[in-house]
């Protein structure tokens, strides 16, 4: 299994560590050539405006969209969720827009409002997942075909649609690898198709 991690800006090394601990090979993606032969792509946490602009400036937004259309799994965490959203409240920033969701940025407040909490995640069993939220967004609205996997105080923080997953929290900052395993399972299906 060979999974790409978009390495334009943000916490890409942490995702690589989580993936490697599960036996995956990882590739840092900064240019379009690096998208070749990957079974899935993670868009990490960071600044969504920075990541969006660099994606356009270095012409990798379109190749990612093309691969996503072919079924390549894409998982966005925090900034990555925003980049995946079709609509972003009060923003015209560059994005991939692959998921039928509306994201609200900095939705829980500024850094002093950042928090960690126990999440019940659909499909991960009864054991709660310790989730870290940093200046996090949430999903304000979901369209058809989007499955909600977790909420905090009624706000959607984890969702899935076709070959896409988006989380408002940072599974790469904790040692619990269950969320990464969930994504790797999608990637396996795509890998076998390829």
Structure token pair of residue 127? 């054991």
Q: Look up 141 and say whether it is catalytic.
A: no
Count of residues of this chain found to bind another protein when the rule CB under 8 A is applied:
40
Give every CB contact of residue 54 below 8 A, 6+ residues apart in sequence. 8, 9
Q: Supply the minimum distance, in Å, between the C-beta of residue 7 and another protein.
A: 7
Q: Which of 16, 78, 161, 187 is catalytic?
A: 78
Q: x/- string (CB under 8 A) for another protein, residues 53-82?
A: xx--xx-------------------xx---
Q: Which is nearer to another protein, 134 or 139 (CB)?
A: 134
For 37: left if phi > 0, alpha if psi spans -120 to 50, otherwise beta; the answer is left
Cα 155–13–24 angle (5° rounding)? 95
Q: x/- string (CB under 8 A) for another protein, residues 133-152?
A: xxx----------------x
H-type alpha helices, the chain: 12-21, 48-57, 61-69, 79-84, 178-193
Q: Look up 187 and say whether it is catalytic.
A: no
Can you tell me the distance from the alpha carbon of 147 to that of 179, in angstroms, rounded to the nearest whole number? 15
* 110 interacts with another protein by CB under 8 A: yes
Q: Which of 24, 170, 180, 187 is catalytic?
A: 170
Structure token pair of residue 180? 């990464």
Q: Report the interface residues with another protein, using CB under 8 A.
A: 7-14, 30, 45-47, 49-50, 53-54, 57-58, 78-79, 91, 105-106, 110-118, 132-135, 152, 170, 173-174
């Amino acid at each position: 299994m060979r999974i790409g991690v978009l390495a334009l800006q943000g916490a890409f090394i942490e995702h690589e560590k989580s993936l490697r601990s599960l036996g995956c090979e990882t590739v840092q993606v900064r240019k379009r050539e690096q998208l070749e032969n990957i079974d899935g792509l993670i868009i990490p946490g960071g600044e969504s405006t920075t990541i969006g602009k660099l994606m356009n400036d270095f012409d990798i937004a379109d190749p990612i969209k093309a691969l996503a259309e072919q079924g390549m799994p894409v998982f966005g965490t925090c900034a990555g969720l925003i980049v995946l959203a079709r609509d972003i409240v009060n923003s015209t920033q560059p994005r991939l827009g692959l998921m039928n969701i509306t994201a609200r940025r900095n939705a829980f407040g500024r850094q002093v409002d950042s928090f960690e909490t126990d999440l019940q995640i659909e499909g991960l069993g009864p054991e709660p997942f310790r989730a870290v939220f940093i200046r996090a967004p949430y999903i304000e609205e979901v369209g058809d075909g989007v499955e909600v996997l977790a909420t905090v105080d009624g706000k959607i923080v984890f969702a899935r649609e076709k070959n896409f997953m988006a989380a408002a929290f940072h599974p790469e900052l904790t040692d619990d690898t269950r969320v990464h395993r969930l994504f790797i399972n999608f990637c396996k299906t795509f890998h076998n198709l390829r």
